[in-house]
Amino acid sequence: MVANRINSDYAGKEVVFIAVLNGSFMFASDLFKRITLDCEISFVKVSSYKGSTASSGRVDELIGLNTNIEGKNVIILEDIVDTGITIDKIFTLLRAHQPTSVQIATLLYKPDAFKGKNAPHYVGFLIPNFFVVGFGLDYNERGRNLDAIYKLKGDVPTQNTMLNLVLFGPPGAGKGTQSERLIEKYGLVHLSTGDIFRANIKGETELGKLAKSYMDKGSLVPDEVTINMLRSEVMKYENPKGFIFDGFPRTTAQAVALDEFLNSLQTSITLMLALDVEENELRERLMKRAESSGRPDDADPAIIQNRINVYKNETAPVKEFYEAQQKFVSINGIGSIDEISDRLYQAIDELK
């Protein structure tokens, strides 16, 4: 029993329980009745700061944390831990307050779905990767009041079979050509953040006006605005086979935001595929492309080097993010178009 273990592990110690709303309220209530320690409890929600920052334009905060946890033992209470993305963020935010220790207690844990760094220490029940409701858990905010836990009808796991790819490649790697081939072979939808931004700004949508207000001031468009544009675009497609994300994510914060968004649709990124081409080869390709394209930036060595450097700086942290999830695959980008395509197909088909 979770309460008995906590009582034993923290005997004689002061504990602060942090219950994450909305889902954990029933679990927290039942658990707290059985805790015999000197303790207190706070109920918090995770929120996104609406302003902008120099790094990503998105700062997560805990609303409702009114208790001083410095030097104290903290136990996070969750209704369910699946991917672990939210828990990792909460963990980081709490660590900034310098508690003595932080552990996680959850009613339900889905080990098959877990991708995070901080696995729960106290677990009520291990469950398969299915969608469940009741006892605080919801489906579109319904079902929290049920006094038992139910799996939604059907044996469909929460993560569906969509193929979602993040395709990266330095300028001259042939990303555009390979992207078109992947779209055709697997029936995917191409989502370019550049195209989406231009369409929203030209169409003078509310999101487009908001994005333009930041751009006109020379500021970065907050990740939240970009994600909302992506969400709006994704929701236009009924039962898509999957998406190729082009130009996003470019930072770890964006990758986390994309994971959260896709998780809300019961899907996730399948692979990050990166075309690997040596710099000398890239320079030669771009110089040759300049002869036929008429693009002066393809012929200027300084501009070429800057574009390569920008690519490296942008992709490094995102690569590490997907490597931690075992979703990063480097593809040899040297060879004929068909050879490179075959390598991409093989990396994807090996997952089936």
pLDDT band at 228 (very low <50, low <70, confident <90, very high): confident
Determine the pLDDT at residue 48.
Answer: 43
pLDDT band at 29 (very low <50, low <70, confident <90, very high): very high
Whether 198 sits among the annotated catalytic residues: the reply is: no
Of 250, 285, 327, 343, which is the active-site residue? 250
Whether 295 sits among the annotated catalytic residues: the reply is: yes
CA gap 222, 210 in Å, rounded = 10
Determine the pLDDT at residue 57.
Answer: 30
- What is the CATH T-level fold of the domain 2-151, as seen in this structure? Rossmann fold (3.40.50)
pLDDT per position as a tens digit, 154-167: 544 444 578 999 99
Of 89, 110, 285, 307, which is the active-site residue? 307
pLDDT at 73 over 50: yes
CA-atom Rg of the chain in angstroms: 23
pTM: predicted TM-score of the whole model, two decimal places: 0.52
pLDDT-wise least confident of 194-208, 282-296, 303-317: 282-296
Helix (H) or strand (E) holding 241: none
Position 34: which residue type? Answer: R
Of 212, 231, 283, 289, which is the active-site residue? 289
Whether 250 sits among the annotated catalytic residues: the reply is: yes
Residue spans of alpha helices (H) in the chain:
2-9, 25-32, 85-95, 175-186, 193-202, 206-216, 223-234, 252-264, 279-293, 301-324, 337-349
Whether 307 sits among the annotated catalytic residues: the reply is: yes
Query: In Å, how far are 7, 66, 74 from 13, measured between CA atoms?
Result: 9, 20, 11
59 against 136, higher pLDDT: 136
- How many Å separate Cα 35 from the centre of its chain? 34
Of 34, 117, 241, 295, which is the active-site residue? 295
**Which residues have a Cβ under 8 Å from the Cβ of 46 and sit 6 or more positions away?**
20, 60, 61, 62, 63, 86, 89, 90
pLDDT at 295 over 70: no
pLDDT at 207 over 60: yes
Whether 289 sits among the annotated catalytic residues: the reply is: yes
Average pLDDT over residues 304-308: 80
350 against 53, higher pLDDT: 350
pLDDT band at 102 (very low <50, low <70, confident <90, very high): very high
Q: Which of 133, 131, 69 is nearest to 267 (CA)?
A: 131
Determine the pLDDT at residue 241.
Answer: 87
pLDDT at 50 over 80: no
Average pLDDT over residues 318-339: 90
Same fold, 2-151 and 163-188+240-349: yes
Of 58, 175, 285, 343, which is the active-site residue? 175
**Which residues have a Cβ under 8 Å from the Cβ of 96 and sit 6 or more positions away?**
none
Determine the pLDDT at residue 227.
Answer: 86
Contact 56, 258 (CB under 8 A): no
| Extents of the domains making up the chain | 2-151, 163-188+240-349
pLDDT-wise least confident of 47-56, 142-151, 175-184, 210-219: 47-56
Which of 3.40.366.10, 3.40.50.300, 3.40.50.1970, 3.90.550.10 is the CATH number of 163-188+240-349?
Answer: 3.40.50.300
pLDDT per position as a tens digit, 2-22: 999 999 999 999 899 999 988
The helices-and-strands tally (H runs, E runs) of the chain is: 11, 13
